[in-house]
Amino acid sequence: MEKFTLIGKNMKRIDTAAKATGEAIFSADLTLPRMLIGKALRSPYPHARIVAIDTSKAERLPGVKAVITAQDMCGDKWGVFRYTQDQQFLPTEKVRYMGEEVAAVAAIDEDTALQALKLIDVQYEALPSVFTIDDAIAAGAPQLHDAYPNNINVHVKIDVGDIEKGFNESYLVREDTFSAPEDAYFQGEPYAVVAQFDQAGNLEIWMPNAGPHMKAKPLSNVLKIPLNKVRVRKITIGGAFGGRSEISPADVICAFLARKAHRPVKIVYTREENTVATRQAHALVTKIKTGVDREGKVLARDITCHMDGGAYSSTGPIATSVPFLCMEQAYRMDNVRYNGYRILTNKPIRGMYRVHGRAFACGIDIQLDMIGAALGIDPLTMRLRNARQTGDYTPTKSYVASCGMTESIVKAGEKSGWKEKFGKLPPYHGIGIGCNSVQTGFPMGIRGGSQAFIKLNEDGGITVITGIVDNGQGNDNMVVQIAAEELGLTPDDVQLISADTEVTPSDPGSYAMCETFIGGNAVRLAAQDVKKKLFRIVAGEFGIGVDNLTARDRKIFVTENPEKSMSIAKAVRIALSRNESISGEGSYWPNVDPKREWVKNPYGQLSETFSFGTVIAEVKVDPETGQVEVLEVTAAQDVGFALNPQVIEGQFEGGVAMGGQGGMLSEFLQWHEGRVLNPTQFGYLVPLAIDMPKINNIIVETIDPNGPYGAKEAGMSVAMSAAQAYCGAISNAVGVYFHDYPITPDKIVKAIEEKKQKENAEVPG
């Protein structure tokens, strides 16, 4: 008999038929009786003092039911951490970026709401602004917040081993600087919120979110109502990629409008609002100094990274750390110093993004290529010589329980034909490799663990209750798959109640790739709890030990004698008739160091386990136009164990599109004095079907000792290492190492011209 019936096999996702028929309801699709339309008035200045706001004309406009300003709120400041509480949902004193919310209206329709916005008179006193990292930290620069002198929002300092000794012992040392502007999340679904209050003052609210509990707490704080009155409801979510992590001013504004108007309110962001006023990914400048021995093994690294954080902290301490942490996981580096600075500028707010910092990961990797070239070692071998291994500790003291980095490098190398191709391709053809690693969660305080409940019905079906949220990646299906597997049921036998703060227990949310590992384990434990109780009943009836039973095909049968069985439905009815509880409960708390803190103590177990991935890309560059044609991409990742291979392959392919194709070839935000010039798809070039190369997927399984069935996470390492592989491949094709990303055609043409000029200059006569 096969070990599993559902786990490890391609399974049709339970949520996708509703999406393919148009029946799935997203936030903007909701309509409630008497619902109003809300709109926010946004600052036209990047930095200005708010002198006065007059809303009287807007309030008198027929059809307007509520107008709010900072006066309606208590001036509370929100922050992910106590030490980063710096953002008011409607600012009282000044605006800090162009597009920041200043006031809001709710009206009977969109036209009236937009007309009302024009009637709000805000007097601003423009203040000097800063738009670049250099300008922001220059002496005498305008200051955004009193709490952050010199506009330094966060400084993460990590110092491990003895880097001076490491550099002294190095055979070769190089220092390079890498940079990249901001990227946009560009989720399919523009942000939307619907809020309503009932007569008892309970808030019901729907919005895209990465964790309903993470939304509920700040709403409770700012609305001054108990947490049990905030009901963040489950809704279909159109992508997150890190950009739906926190409370949004839109959530709070919508709730305040609904409370003031005594009617439901819906706010739907335009595409521009989604790009400007949700979150963006950080711009980075990373200086990397690396020393290696003769064999290319890294002996010391000194990294300084400046990140443009925009106007507020957001997830700043995490965002400032993660680019480094991913790379310290991926590669061994015993002596390393990291100084990460998040700098505030008068630009929109930056958050956590799926591809954590192109100018960091690509910098580390392309520098390995440069060093390898100097030593006569090819890039793949450079990776193998520095690859993280099972049983290692990372520099910041995380134990690595399972690691398939080497296997992913070797397998990707074989599949892509690396040996036959590297150094042997025709002119302007190139091949490149990137390696990366991501966490499966990190210390998240009291919300770091997940709990799940399972209720049984008298027909043998179950309802699983969990806080796990699905942003589109397939988490709902993962829950059903695990519960059905454990209890020997079919997916149709399982109902799911999830991501609803009124009903579902605590869960970290879909952050840092933790849902499979943490939430999945909790659901599995809840199902095992139920199974244990059912087995007790059946064992009693059959007069045998509980260890001799198996659950499969909606039955519990004697393992050695499958003819002898009882339906789960019958076991449930026996339990009911005896008033015996058979509900299940499971909770999982990951083995992370609770004393670890991003800034104060960045050492200790960060995440219980990590995924590791390698991407190899092969490209052809047109030297005349600088256009890059990507011929083939091979993506390999250690996922621990593939719960649902089809879903994992979809994550790999999506990761290649976002990290490689978009992240390294075309995606970047353009600016003019704090204004985003390309907030829509016309100027912000997200990959389309016609752009996509052939992709080979390689699933590497290391069976993590503590992951559910050995699983870790599906696809994040690929998204990140794809950017690195593209960077390496283009550099290899052109014969120039690129330091500024994305590598757009203009940069390629320029690099080729400069290379030619240099070569001509070197040829005598």
Partner 1 sequence: MKREITFKLNNEERKVEVDPGWTLLYVLREVLELTGTKEGCGYGECGACTVIIDGRSVNSCLYPILEAEGRAVTTIEGLRAASGELHPLQRAFVNEGAVQCGFCTAGMIMSAKALIDENEKPTEDDIKDNIAGNLCRCTGYVQIIDAIKTAAGGGRT
Binding-site ranges for partner 1 (CB under 8 A):
10, 12-13, 15-26, 28-29, 31, 186-190, 236-239, 241, 268, 270-271, 471-474, 646-647, 649-650, 652-658, 661, 680-682, 686-690, 692, 695
Radius of gyration of the chain (CA): 27
What order of strands is seen across the sheet that includes strand 298-310?
152-160, 336-344, 298-310, 283-292, 172-180
CA 450, CA 505: separation in Å to the nearest integer? 8
CB of 651 to partner 1, least distance (A): 8
- And the tokens for 704? 């993590």
CA 589, CA 600: separation in Å to the nearest integer? 23
CA 679, CA 272: separation in Å to the nearest integer? 5
CB nearer to partner 1: pick between 401 and 480: 480
CB nearer to partner 1: pick between 88 and 236: 236
745 cis-preceded (ω within 30 degrees of 0): no
- CB of 47 within 8 A of CB of 126? yes
CA 724, CA 293: separation in Å to the nearest integer? 23
CB of 237 to partner 1, least distance (A): 7
* 383 burial via Cβ count (<10 Å: 0-12, 13-18, 19+): buried
- CB of 715 within 8 A of CB of 654? yes
CB nearer to partner 1: pick between 451 and 644: 644
CB nearer to partner 1: pick between 11 and 566: 11
CB of 241 to partner 1, least distance (A): 7
CB of 80 to partner 1, least distance (A): 24
CB of 17 to partner 1, least distance (A): 5
CB nearer to partner 1: pick between 20 and 52: 20
CB of 35 to partner 1, least distance (A): 11
Residue 328 phi, psi dihedral angles, 5° rounding: -70, -25
CB nearer to partner 1: pick between 341 and 652: 652
CB of 21 to partner 1, least distance (A): 6
- Scanning 13-140, the segments in alpha helix (DSSP H) are 16-20, 56-60, 110-119, 133-137
- Nearest CA-CA partner of 306 in 174, 155, 175: 155
Number of H helices, E strands in the chain: 20, 30
SS3 for 105-161 is EEECCHHHHHHHHHHCEEEEEECCCCCCHHHHHCCCCCCCCCCCHHHEEEEEEEEEC
CB of 749 to partner 1, least distance (A): 25
Beta bridge partners of 48: 95, 126
CB nearer to partner 1: pick between 364 and 714: 714
CA 563, CA 97: separation in Å to the nearest integer? 70
CB of 695 to partner 1, least distance (A): 6
CB of 660 to partner 1, least distance (A): 9
22 DSSP assignment: T
CB nearer to partner 1: pick between 689 and 761: 689
- And the tokens for 548? 């001799």
Q: Which helix (H) or strand (E) holds 221?
A: helix 212-223
